[in-house]
Amino acid sequence: MAEETIFSKIIRQEIDAPLLYQDELVTAFRDIAPKASSHILIVPNKLIPTINDVSADDEAALGRMITVAKQLAKEEGIEKNGYRLIINCNQHGGQEVYHIHMHLVGGEPLGPMLCI
């Protein structure tokens, strides 16, 4: 069984973090150390440590992450100029919290690459 993370506590609202979106599959909230003027994390409610741990049962949650990203980009007013979606995997990929999460980043020019 995967070890519980800070994201699990945010999903259950045991840590005070204003939620931008939550349903039965995913939760979204602002990154505490934003790398752009708009930086939101979208996480599956089920604790999945890395992309390598994803199974076919997780497809609905992963698809929902994308549709929620689209919705939040529109709400943030960044959909027209563009944004970036990033999922890091393991140490060399830059993953710091071992509960998969998608970064929705935008609101300014991001350049050819962004390290998160």
Residuewise pLDDT in 10s, the chain (116 residues): 578 999 999 999 999 999 999 999 999 999 999 999 999 999 999 999 999 999 999 999 999 999 999 999 999 999 999 999 999 999 999 999 999 999 999 999 998 875 55
Separation between Cα atoms, residue 62 and residue 100, nearest integer Å: 10
Q: In CATH terms, is domain 6-106 a member of 3.40.50.1820? A: no
- Residue 39 annotated in active site: no
pLDDT at 1: 55
pLDDT at 43: 98
Between vectors from CA 48 to CA 43 and to CA 51, what angle results, nearest 5°? 90
Token representation of residue 68? 């929620």
Single out the catalytic residue among 39, 92, 99, 101.
101
Q: What pTM was estimated for this model as a whole?
A: 0.93
Separation between Cα atoms, residue 1 and residue 85, nearest integer Å: 28
pLDDT at 113: 72
